[in-house]
Amino acid sequence: MTEVRREVFGQMPQEEGGGVVEKFVLKSDAVKVEILSLGCIIAALETKDRDGKFSDVVLGFDTLEGYTRKHPFFGAVVGRVANRIAKGRFTVEGKEHQLFLNNGPNSLHGGARGFDKVLWTPQVLPNGVCFFRLSPDGEESYPGDLKVWVTYTLSGGELAINYRAQTSKTTPINLTNHAYFNLAGQGSRDIYDHEISIEADSYLPVDDTKIPTGEVAAVQGTGFDLRQPVELGKHLQKFCLDGFDHNFCLQQAQARRLAARARHPPTGRAMEVYTTQPGIQFYTGNNLDGSLNGKGAVVYPKHSAFCLETQNWPDAVNKPHFPSALLRPGEEYNHTTWLLFNAA
């Protein structure tokens, strides 16, 4: 049985449009997750270690103020298009669209005011919560009225996140959740003792602005071969890597399949990621720099968390040989990701 509670988390500042931010607490015997109506943010996620002790394993803030200031998308649903679009430009049906550039020369995670920064309309379900919003035609320069539903449901140790959308005009769309995990517990110094594996035979090399070059490269014989579990710290050293911020190409299938596993041997906590999406962005918190005060007044230094963001391939709207990022009127965007937590 999953227990669902709702409570007031805070009030948005007037310059952000005001409005009450609610927090939804989903609780099973194995997992407790807290989700905000602002940006569908996963603000906390507690899971057991092998001794049955609960710890919060996602980065974030204790108060609303942290989330309304600039932060690296902690726990949020990002869109209309997650990840990067080269030069913030794309052409749909002969019309060029220019987006806001918020990541060097590129557009990242929906632009200046993406889905992470807006209030969503919640509906409580027996085992979770569904958030809805209408992204109006022209919002952040994207075409079409886009109706979006993001549904979180908890069953035992499994958190499911379903994304649905419908549009009035052809538009690119790519939705994901940007939770930052540390299975030792948020506030732990680094993730070097975590074991990671990703079910991908290929990955996308990127240029110096993190845009895919267009090549789909085999992982075989490279530092990107994570098909067998690696201990992250040793692996980064061995291949002289500063960290990961790359898309790994999953099997092209609409069915649920295993994408990645993360395990923290000292506590026994493990997480498996299943998805219907064609890619997963593995990010090792390279840009965290200790400047943000997180939950419990801890700071978050570089490599103190990892993200496994299930999504379409970055810049797919400008790369015809990548899986299509376009949603057309009359179609439905529908993807699910499942996070399964256990301890051994």
* Annotated binding residue 264: no
* Annotated binding residue 179: yes
Q: For residues 97 and 91, is the Cβ–Cβ distance under 8 A?
A: yes
* Annotated binding residue 133: no
β-pairing, 176-177 vs 77-78, is antiparallel
Phi-psi category of residue 135: left, alpha or beta, with phi > 0 → left and psi -120 to 50 → alpha:
beta
* Annotated binding residue 245: yes
Two tokens at 29? 């015997």
- Residue 206: closest CA among 220, 216, 198: 216
Q: For residues 261 and 272, is the Cβ–Cβ distance under 8 A?
A: yes
Two tokens at 83? 């990840």
- Bridge-partner residues for 7, per DSSP? 23
* Annotated binding residue 184: no
Q: For residues 253 and 335, is the Cβ–Cβ distance under 8 A?
A: no
In sequence order, what are the residues at sequence separation of 6 or more whose Cβ sits closer than 8 angstroms to the Cβ of residue 54?
A: 32, 46, 47, 48
Instruction: Considering the candidates 97, 178, 194, 264, report the single residue annotated as catalytic.
Output: 178
What is the residue whose two structure tokens read 């992204």? Answer: 135
- Residue 322: closest CA among 75, 90, 33, 162: 90
Per DSSP, the three-state class of 120 is coil
Query: Is 272 marked active-site?
Result: no
Instruction: Considering the candidates 34, 140, 272, 309, report the single residue annotated as catalytic.
Output: 309
- Residue 254: closest CA among 333, 331, 175: 333
Query: Is 7 marked active-site?
Result: no
* Annotated binding residue 344: no
Cα Rg for the chain, rounded, in angstroms?
A: 19
Write out the binding residues: 83-84, 178-180, 245
Residues that constitute the known binding site for beta-D-galactose: 83-84, 178-180, 245
**What are the residue numbers of the active site?**
178, 309
